[in-house]
Every structure is written in C-alpha cells, then in structure tokens.
C-alpha cells in the first residue's frame, strides 16, 4: 500500500456517508486534500469537525485543483450526474455513491464518458466488500453451489417508520422516483448480481406507500437523526416498501422485498442463494458469518477467516478471524481495492468493485421497477 500516501483525494458531501469516506481514506493512508460541503460555510464547519484541513469553496474550485487525483461523490442523488460529468471532464478518477444517477438516461451518458475518460470510475456498492460476500462470489464462480436456482431475501430498515421521521430521500425530486428500492434495494440487487453473476432480464414490482402523508420539519435534518420542532404535513409518494420478482437470464428466479418501515429492523439486508448442489446466505447485521447449506452433510457457518477462504474472500479481508469486520471496514476494503487500481491506472483483472456499467444496470433495473409497478405487468430491463 506504499503508494497510497502519494495519492490525493477529495470528498464531495460531508454528511454521514461522506465522513465514512474520509475516515476510510485516512485509515488507508490516502491524503485527503479537502471536502466540499453543500455550501461553503457548511463545508468549512464540517471540515473542522471531521478534522480535514481544507474545504473547497465550490465545485469549480475542486475541479480546478490539479493536485487532486480522485474525487469521491457523496452528495445527494440528484447531484451525482452533473458532478461526475464535470469531474471526468476535469480528468479526475471518480468514486460515486449509489445510485449512480437519477435516471438511466443520465447513467448511460456517464458510462459513455467514463469509458472515454480512461479513468477509474467506481460506484459505492461497498457491501460487496464485506469479505464473505467476496467469498460467496468466488464460491459461485467456482461452481461450489452448482447451477443457481432461487435468490431470495430482503433489505429492511425502520428509520422511516414514524410519521415524524424525515429525510430528503422521502421526496422524489431529491432522491429519485424510488426510495426504498433506490436507496437500499439497489444494494441488494447489486450484491446478489455480484454474488451470483446473474443479471435480471425482467421484473415484476409492487411498490407501496403506507404513509402517504408525513410531517416535515421546517429546519434541516441529518440522515439518521430525528426531527424536532415545527413540522408541516406533506404528501409522500415514494415507496415505503417494495416486492420485486426477478427473472434472470438463464432461468434463475429472484424475489426481494424492501422496507423502511419494518419496526425493529435497523439495517437488515439478507440474501439467500439456492443452487442445485448447495446454498449460501448472508445477513448484514452479522456480516462475519456466512451460511452454507448442504444436503449431504451438516450446514456450515463460515466465520471470516483467511485460512479458510478462497482468493476473492482472502483478498478483501483485513483482520484475523473472529475480530469482527463491520461497515467501516467494508469501505476500507472497497477503497483499498479501488486505489490499487488507481495506482496502476487501470482496473485489474481480479477487481470486483462495481463499475459505472454496474451502476447503469441498477438504473435500468429501477426504471423497469417503476414501470412494472405502474403498469402492473412484467417489464424487461431496457424495454421501451
């Protein structure tokens, strides 16, 4: 990792997830040149709080900083497209939070520009980088589960369960037409696609808004914090929950539910992949355990352990067995993999981080979900 200390990165977005990026970069030994906040004042305030030495006054100022090699885009969803396009024009490597864009038209342009740029362009599907998800990816690729049949699971949270819970993601113009699907469901879709190697051919979706009116605070609200003080009633039409049935190319099937109103589920992503000879399952709330299901022997629970894992799993692991790796470590593992490629200037043959193509696939998936739910029918990805 020697060269990491030679790389300079900047981070756009200073909220919860932007801070996670900054800390992971510093842990890796990458230089954090500065942050860009939602306003200059906000940027300065947050830079001080996070302990970053510099806050850019504007995107232009950041674009103009030639000392910056890599820019992390952790702004609200609607800003991803213009920011990333400008960053690529400015010759930066880009690591963009998901979803990549607000529409698949945008993400298609981003893919094209990324390809033309020759830069490292990654999307923050960090969950791939819990080492046991890498392990599962390697297992499927090696045929350890046989032919993949049935992929099930969910991503359930409860932080928007109350009428008074508020976040910018609730509003379609800020977060996109899809909320639970866009914000968390896409993690599940990316992760299962990564693990199984399968892409959805068509989807049937049913979106539900259980709370069609919510109380919006008049002041600003941090993600994962509670509204206080005066509120006003606003109509909400983004999805509190979803049910999505997936037909994969090749005959496999998938079923996912998402919810942000399942009381008691803080951040529960579960996937379960049933193959013809074995199955595997993983739960984000106990990420250092991988279930392996068998018919001709006992089921197994693999604790993350570099002495027992395949190359993909071992490469991503940081700590010794039993010393739990969590959410922050997934960013550390993810960025480490991306920055190795930043150092070499090109995506490695073994690299498993999500590309802009992967991010675009998610947008096509989301388009199909919206259309399917509106028209109550199966919709192909990319259908016009």
Q: Cβ–Cβ contacts within 10 Å for residue 79, how many? A: 18
Query: Which one of the spans 36-44, 62-70, 71-79, 223-231 is the region binding a second copy (CB under 8 A)?
Result: 223-231
Asked if 2 is part of the footprint of a second copy (rule: CB under 8 A), the reply reads yes
Residue 106 falls in which region: left (phi positive, over 0), alpha (psi -120 to 50) or beta = alpha
Pick from 103, 136, 92: which is nearest to 342 by CA? 92
CB of 120 to a second copy, least distance (A): 19
Asked if 292 is part of the footprint of a second copy (rule: CB under 8 A), the reply reads yes
Query: Which one of the spans 22-30, 71-79, 94-102, 347-355 is the region binding a second copy (CB under 8 A)?
Result: 22-30
Residues with Cβ within 8 Å of 185's Cβ and at least 6 positions away in sequence, in order, are: 155, 178, 242, 244, 256, 258, 369
Q: Taking CB under 8 A as the criterion, which residues in 158-197 touch a second copy? A: 158-159, 161-162
Q: How many CA atoms lie within 13 A of 216 on its CB side?
A: 14
Report the residue number, 214 or 360, with the smaller CB distance to a second copy: 214
CB of 223 to a second copy, least distance (A): 8
Query: Which one of the spans 68-76, 104-112, 235-243, 359-367 is the region binding a second copy (CB under 8 A)?
Result: 235-243
Token pair listed for 117: 């740029």
Distance of CA 99 to the CA centre of its chain: 7
Distance of CA 205 to the CA centre of its chain: 20
Asked if 78 is part of the footprint of a second copy (rule: CB under 8 A), the reply reads no
Number of residues that bind a second copy (CB under 8 A): 97
DSSP result, 149-174: EEEEEEEE--TT-STT---GGGSHHH
231: which strand partners?
217
Asked if 278 is part of the footprint of a second copy (rule: CB under 8 A), the reply reads yes
CB of 303 to a second copy, least distance (A): 5
Among 78, 149, 201, 371, binds a second copy (CB under 8 A): 149
CB of 328 to a second copy, least distance (A): 6
Among 41, 105, 142, 328, binds a second copy (CB under 8 A): 328
DSSP 320: P
Q: Taking CB under 8 A as the criterion, which residues in 28-47 touch a second copy? A: 28-29
């Amino acid at each position: 990792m020697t060269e990491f200390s030679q790389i300079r990165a900047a981070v756009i977005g200073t909220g919860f997830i932007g801070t996670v990026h900054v800390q992971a970069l510093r842990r890796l030994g990458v230089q954090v040149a500065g942050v860009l906040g939602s306003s200059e004042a906000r940027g300065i305030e947050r830079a001080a709080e996070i302990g970053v030495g510099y806050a850019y006054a504007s995107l232009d100022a950041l674009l103009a900083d030639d000392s910056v090699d890599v820019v992390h885009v952790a702004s609200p969803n609607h800003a991803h497209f213009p920011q990333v396009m400008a960053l690529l024009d400015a010759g930066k490597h880009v690591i963009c939070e998901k979803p990549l864009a607000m529409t698949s038209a945008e993400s298609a342009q981003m893919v094209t520009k990324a390809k033309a740029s020759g830069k490292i362009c990654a999307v923050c599907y960090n969950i791939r980088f819990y080492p046991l998800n890498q392990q599962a990816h390697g297992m499927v690729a090696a045929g350890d589960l046989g032919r993949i049949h049935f992929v099930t699971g969910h991503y359930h949270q409860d932080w928007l369960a109350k009428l008074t819970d508020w976040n910018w993601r609730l509003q379609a113009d800020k977060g996109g037409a899809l909320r639970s699907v866009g914000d968390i469901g896409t993690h599940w879709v990316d992760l299962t696609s990564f693990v199984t190697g399968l892409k959805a051919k068509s989807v049937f979706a049913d979106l539900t808004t259980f709370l069609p009116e919510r109380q919006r605070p008049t002041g600003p609200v941090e993600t994962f914090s509670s509204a206080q003080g005066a509120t006003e009633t606003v109509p909400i039409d983004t999805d509190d929950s979803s049910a999505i049935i997936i037909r994969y190319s090749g005959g496999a099937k998938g079923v996912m539910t998402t919810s942000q109103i399942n009381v008691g589920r803080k951040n529960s992503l579960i996937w379960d992949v049933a193959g013809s000879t074995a199955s595997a399952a993983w739960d984000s709330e106990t990420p250092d355990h991988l279930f392996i299901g068998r018919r001709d022997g006992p089921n197994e629970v693999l604790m993350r352990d570099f002495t027992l894992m395949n190359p993909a799993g071992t490469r991503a692991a940081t700590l010794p067995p039993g010393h739990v790796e969590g959410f922050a470590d997934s960013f550390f593992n993810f960025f480490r993999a991306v920055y190795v490629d930043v150092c070499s200037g090109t995506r490695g043959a073994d690299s498993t981080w999500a590309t802009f193509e992967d991010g675009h696939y998610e947008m096509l998936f989301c388009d199909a979900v919206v259309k399917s739910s509106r028209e109550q029918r199966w919709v192909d990805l990319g259908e016009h």
